[in-house]
Structure 1
Amino acid sequence: MFRSTVQLLRLPFSFFLLPVYLFALSQVKDPAPVRALLIFVIWHLLVYPASNGYNSYMDRDTGPIGGLKAPPMPTPWLFRVTLAMDVLAVILSFCVSPVFGCCCLAYIGASRAYSYRGLRLKRFPWLGYGTVVVFQGAVVFAATYHGCSRDLTLHIPVAPVVASSLLIGGFYPLTQVYQHEADARDGVRTVSAVLGYTGTFLFCGLVYLAGFAVLALYFARIHQVIRFLSIQAFFLPVLIYFVAWFSGVRKDHRKADHVHTMRMNWLAAAAANAAFGTLLIWSQFE
């Protein structure tokens, strides 16, 4: 029971969402170290794992899901643990600031609405997609930027907020590409299912490109073009794998499977974490 609960929290999955935190922190001029660490704990050790666990509790997946090839069946303990983690996350988030606390509450509420059987926003392809994109991207960036700044500023740059959502939006449908049949059996129609295999790859490529275009404009405006160009090297392996995988899927749809998806997940997350981590280190020498 303990082991299955820990497995379904999918703690390593937080690595995939770490880039937004690193990007936000790298853009804060004078971060507060203690609050920055607390915010990391809130998002990556409490909110995200609890969200994963609650989603698994509602879905009761029998096939592969993100990070787990053969997920165990959830138990009532999983629900209790996710609830306790949510409560702790909210308490700690209000210790950061009321604004951060409200953002955390909103994220948890949106996450539950996405998965809860009585509402289940994930049933609706574009509404579900929009929920993920806005909260995992824009809300997390804005809340992190606010909470990590020493003066708890509300003057948050718009371009990085938009870029964060676009980068999430350009990646998220790829995580659904192997689940079309399983989702359909569960009454869920994802954006990837609507777009089809080829459409998913083309859509993700365009949205990701839009995200990088916004980043380019942002870094040009703050006179940091060299930094923007420098981090592009980290994303070259991602581009190569994306094109190769897309080519393979066009020839054989069976390659849109869990194994290839997880490779893409890990590669893209590693590249983004390295890129935004580099920006964070770079910012410390200003």
Structure 2
Amino acid sequence: MTKSTFLHLRFPFSFFLLPVFLFALAVSASTKYFEILWIFFILHVLLYPASNGYNSYFDKDEGSIGGLKHPPKTSKELYGWSIALDVLAIMMGWWISWQFAAMLLIYGLVSKAYSHPLIRLKSMPIIGWLAAGIFQGYFTFLMVVLGLKDFDGLELIDWQWQLPAILSSMLLMGSYPMTQVYQHEEDSQRGDITMSILLGVLGTFYFTGLFFFVSNLGFLYYFYTYFDWMTALAFQLSLLPVMGYFFFWFLKVRKDERRADFEHTMRLNLISSLLLNVFFLGWYLLR
């Protein structure tokens, strides 16, 4: 594997999607530690990097992308590795169950449809936004629960699992346009009309703020109704630094839209992912 391929797989970027896995783990309260590590490896070392690599291969970005400020040139090797990691993820997922493996296959197909030029969901602002939010949030949450609880699939329709799965998507659907806010020029040159381009720079901030507020109310209701007020309060407190940084950055962008850049975006992603990961992991260990 060349250095270029390794960088484009963006293994560290999986950290930003870890909150969904940890949320599902905490809600399931599973103590099957081997399965927990197995599923974590499949998602964060195989499935997500495969998706990153496939996306990079067809985008061929020259400007900054998520997790890479200066992406190197891509090669056919990157395409081969992205397919190989996808296949390995499905093979390993079959050990959990055929249903889990099937969900891995579906996720992989959707991620390819997002980037492949024959379909390219990324060029469709609403559909691309929905696909990313639903499959990285709702779908992945239920996939993890399915793997940890030995369900055959029908049990997942229970509101006990549906509500947190929906909340996972709401968080991602709010934050996803923000990950595109610094890529307007390059996406436009390629002909991709992303959700952030559709909203505009300031519109992206307003949209993310609104979604964050609504999803936060949903989490407040969920934790208070299904658990206790202490958990609901702890979740709110854990997000205060995220809200503080978001507002601080927003004020900068209002004065100069050039501040909607790669560095600020990655910093917001890091702060929010870190605090959510700490909260969900701590909640799981203390339950």
Normalised-by-shorter TM-score class: over 0.9
The superposition leaves residues 61-90 of structure 1 with CA deviations (integer Å, 9 ceiling, x where unpaired) of 101111111100111111111111010001
Q: Which aligned pairs between 1:24-35 and structure 2 lie closer than 5 A?
A: 24-35=24-35
Q: Is the 8 A contact 2:178 2:208 kept in 1?
A: yes
Q: Is the 8 A contact 1:177 1:257 kept in 2?
A: yes
Distance 2:70 2:97 in 1: 40
Q: Is the 8 A contact 1:146 1:153 kept in 2?
A: yes
Letter of the structure 2 residue corresponding to residue 121 of structure 1: L
- Shift of residue 150 of structure 1? 4.9
- Shift of residue 224 of structure 1? 2.0
Is structure 2 residue 5 aligned with structure 1 residue 36?
Answer: no
Letter of the structure 1 residue corresponding to residue 177 of structure 2: P
Which moved further from structure 2: 55-64 or 223-232?
A: 223-232
Is structure 2 residue 192 aligned with structure 1 residue 188?
Answer: yes
Which moved further from structure 2: 259-268 or 151-160?
A: 151-160
The superposition leaves residues 79-130 of structure 1 with CA deviations (integer Å, 9 ceiling, x where unpaired) of 1111110100011112111221111111100000000011101000000000
Q: Is the 8 A contact 1:20 1:164 kept in 2?
A: yes
Is structure 2 residue 258 aligned with structure 1 residue 271?
Answer: no
Q: Percent identity over the alignment?
A: 42
- Shift of residue 154 of structure 1? 4.3
What is the SS of the residue equivalent to 1:170? helix
Letter of the structure 1 residue corresponding to residue 232 of structure 2: F
Distance 1:269 1:160 in 2: 17
Q: Which aligned pairs between 1:77-226 and structure 2 lie closer than 5 A?
A: 77-150=77-150, 154-156=154-156, 157-226=161-230
Which moved further from structure 2: 64-73 or 26-35?
A: 26-35
Q: Is the 8 A contact 1:32 1:150 kept in 2?
A: no
What is the SS of the residue equivalent to 1:119? coil
The superposition leaves residues 42-78 of structure 1 with CA deviations (integer Å, 9 ceiling, x where unpaired) of 1000000010001000011101111111100111111
Q: Is the 8 A contact 1:10 1:52 kept in 2?
A: yes
Q: Which aligned pairs between 1:58-77 and structure 2 lie closer than 5 A?
A: 58-77=58-77
Q: Calculate the TM-score normalised by the size of structure 1.
A: 0.96
Which residue matches 2:54? 54
Q: Is the 8 A contact 2:51 2:82 kept in 1?
A: yes
What is the SS of the residue equivalent to 1:171? helix
Is structure 2 residue 253 aligned with structure 1 residue 236?
Answer: no
Letter of the structure 2 residue corresponding to residue 3 of structure 1: K
- Shift of residue 7 of structure 1? 0.3
Which residue matches 1:45? 45
Q: Is the 8 A contact 2:18 2:277 kept in 1?
A: yes
Structure 1 outlier segments of 4+, above 3 Å: 150-154
Alignment gaps of 5+ in structure 1: none
Alignment gaps of 5+ in structure 2: none
Distance 2:33 2:227 in 1: 26
Distance 2:260 2:19 in 1: 24
- Shift of residue 269 of structure 1? 0.9
Q: Calculate the TM-score normalised by the size of structure 2.
A: 0.95
- Shift of residue 223 of structure 1? 3.2
Which moved further from structure 2: 150-159 or 65-74?
A: 150-159
